[in-house]
């Protein structure tokens, strides 16, 4: 296992792997290892040391954080300023059998994860403004920037989001945020099968009401939720 302390260590590890024709599995919190096709890399690149928010400007609705920064740390910081990540990154710990609150910024962006609010706010990739990363050749590079309209040519941030760490090792990312709503109401409907639930969600979104998100959880999955009213209708 390789545990780099900074971006230069990451670059050196990848240069060595290239020379030896080796490969790495990139791990920080490890909460997404069960997603996608299982990797066959013999070595693990533990980037958990690359953590921390490096820039946050609430008035500009933007922040930059290192890849291994826990999502719970980012969300707590934003909540303190009345802001949020509009794409609602999910915590799949209970579903994937991993500890809760282990998700990191790098894992969320690498897997392009978003929650029920995606129907309105878009996916994680739509909020990804820029990044720094290390290529498979051990080269440190950056793309994008700190504002929405900053792309001339191909938007590499969109390419990185959802690449599952196969294109480069993400060092840090810059994302836009939005003000959190003053009031939010959630309607739960129990006992629906998948088809009926899909119809109900479609009908709700066709109304004049501003539906910010919609999701159907099969009973077996809902039972694993950390939200009591979701896990148990009788709660």
Indicate the domain borders of the chain. Answer: 7-179, 194-231
Fold of 7-179: 3.30.465
**Across the strands, what pairs with 170?**
133
pLDDT tens digits, one per residue of 165-184: 889 999 999 999 999 988 88
pLDDT tens digits, one per residue of 57-76: 999 999 999 999 999 999 99
Backbone phi and psi for residue 216, each to the nearest 5 degrees, phi listed first: -115, 125
Query: Contact, 235 vs 223, CB < 8 A?
Result: no
- Looking at residue 150, its pLDDT comes to 56
Task: Tell me the C-alpha distance between 168 and 36, whole Å.
Answer: 17
Q: Which three-class secondary structure string do you get for the chain?
A: CECCCCHHHHHHHHHHHHHCCCCEEEECCCCCCCCCCCCCCCEEEECCCCCCEEEEEHHHCEEEEECCCEHHHHHHHHHCCCEECCCCCCCCHHHHCCCCCCCEHHHHHHHCCCCCCHHHHCCHHHHEEEEEEEECCCCEEEEECCCCCCCCCCCHHHHHCCCCCCCEEEEEEEEECEECCCCCCCCCCCCCCHHHHHHHHHHHHCCCCCCCCCCCCCHHHHCCCCCHHHHCCCC
pTM of the model: 0.85
Given a cut of 80, whether residue 79 has pLDDT beyond it is yes
pLDDT tens digits, one per residue of 201-214: 999 989 998 888 99
pLDDT tens digits, one per residue of 116-155: 999 889 999 999 999 999 998 899 999 988 776 655 667 8
Band (pLDDT 50/70/90 cuts) for residue 91 is: confident
Task: Tell me the C-alpha distance between 10 and 15, whole Å.
Answer: 9
Burial of 45 (0-12, 13-18, 19+ CB in 10 A): buried
């Amino acid at each position: 296992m390789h545990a780099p302390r900074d971006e230069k260590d990451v670059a050196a590890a990848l240069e060595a792997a290239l020379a030896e024709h080796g490969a790495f599995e990139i791990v920080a919190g490890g909460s997404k290892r069960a997603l996608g096709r299982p990797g066959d890399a013999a070595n693990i690149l533990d980037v958990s040391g690359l953590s921390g928010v490096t820039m946050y400007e609430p008035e500009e609705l933007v922040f930059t954080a290192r890849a291994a920064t826990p999502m719970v740390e980012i969300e707590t910081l934003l909540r303190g300023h009345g802001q949020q990540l509009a794409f609602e990154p999910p915590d799949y710990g209970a579903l994937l059998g991993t500890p809760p609150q282990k998700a990191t910024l790098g894992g969320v962006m690498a897997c392009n994860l978003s929650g029920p609010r995606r129907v309105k706010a878009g996916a994680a990739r739509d909020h990804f403004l820029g990044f720094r990363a290390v290529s498979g050749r051990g080269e440190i590079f950056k793309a994008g920037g700190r504002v929405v309209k900053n792309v001339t040519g191909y938007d590499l941030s969109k390419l990185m989001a959802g690449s599952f760490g196969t294109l480069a090792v993400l060092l840090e990312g810059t994302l836009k945020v939005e003000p959190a709503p003053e009031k939010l109401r959630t309607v739960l409907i129990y006992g629906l099968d998948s088809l009926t639930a899909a119809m109900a969600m479609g009908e709700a979104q066709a109304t004049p009401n501003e539906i910010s998100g919609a999701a159907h959880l099969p009973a077996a999955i809902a039972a694993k939720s950390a939200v009591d009213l979701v896990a148990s209708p009788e709660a």
